[in-house]
Structure 1
Amino acid sequence: MSKFGGRGYGMCILFVIIGAILGGILGELLKNVPSLEGVMPYLVTTFPVFDMAPVTIDLYVIRLTVGLAFMPNLMSMLGIVVAIALYRRY
């Protein structure tokens, strides 16, 4: 079955990715707020989960460099939780 609660997996993945990105952006925006300076360092510290070093493929006409890193912070995890809650309501 390719459905999750009547909707496709693609929409769920889209919600999760957008939630993670918006949570990370919100954390970066709130990092410099004076009233939150005691707690924000803990919320925006990244945790390296997956880090693949960049690989370069040289095809003599095109040079392609590809790398991938997954380094979430607590604000992006909070964004994922909110995105899943919104997805279930959607």
Structure 2
Amino acid sequence: MKKEKKEGYFWFVIILAGICGKLIGDILGSNVKSLYFLKKVYSIGFTTPICLDLNIIQFTFALKINVNIMSILGIILAIIYYRKY
């Protein structure tokens, strides 16, 4: 039971750090001219969804992750934080 809580907390911290890092990167990239590269977004995933139609049920799968340098840095810092505490 304890391991499930720790694992859930780990993923929560990772996702929260990625979101905060992306927001900080967007703000800094927009407001400081010399930090424009922090706003550049890299997309990972499918450009179009994959569909499987079985006449009775249809499955659609799509996954796209947009990251920037600050979101990656935030995730790395969150992993270090999680391991330390």
Fold conserved between structures, TM > 0.5: yes
Structure (1 or 2) with the greater strand fraction: 1
CA deviations 1:46-72 (Å, max 9, x no partner) are: 11111353579xxxxxxxx87531121
- The aligned runs of 1:42-61 (5 Å cut-off) are 42-53=37-48
- The aligned runs of 1:1-90 (5 Å cut-off) are 3=3, 8-33=6-31, 36-39=32-35, 41-53=36-48, 67-90=62-85
5+ residue gaps, structure 1, are 57-64
| TM score, norm. by length of structure 1 | 0.65
| TM score, norm. by length of structure 2 | 0.68
> Could you list the runs of 4 or more consecutive aligned residues of structure 1 that deviate by over 3 angstroms after TM superposition?
65-68
The one-letter code matched in structure 1 to 2:9 is M
Aligned length: 82
Provide the rounded CA distance (Å) in 1 between the counterparts of 2:47 and 2:14: 22
The one-letter code matched in structure 1 to 2:34 is G
Give 1:61's aligned residue. none
5+ residue gaps, structure 2, are 52-59
Provide the rounded CA distance (Å) in 2 between the counterparts of 1:50 and 1:71: 9
Structure (1 or 2) with the greater helix fraction: 2
% identical equivalent positions: 29
Provide the rounded CA distance (Å) in 1 between the counterparts of 2:30 and 2:37: 13
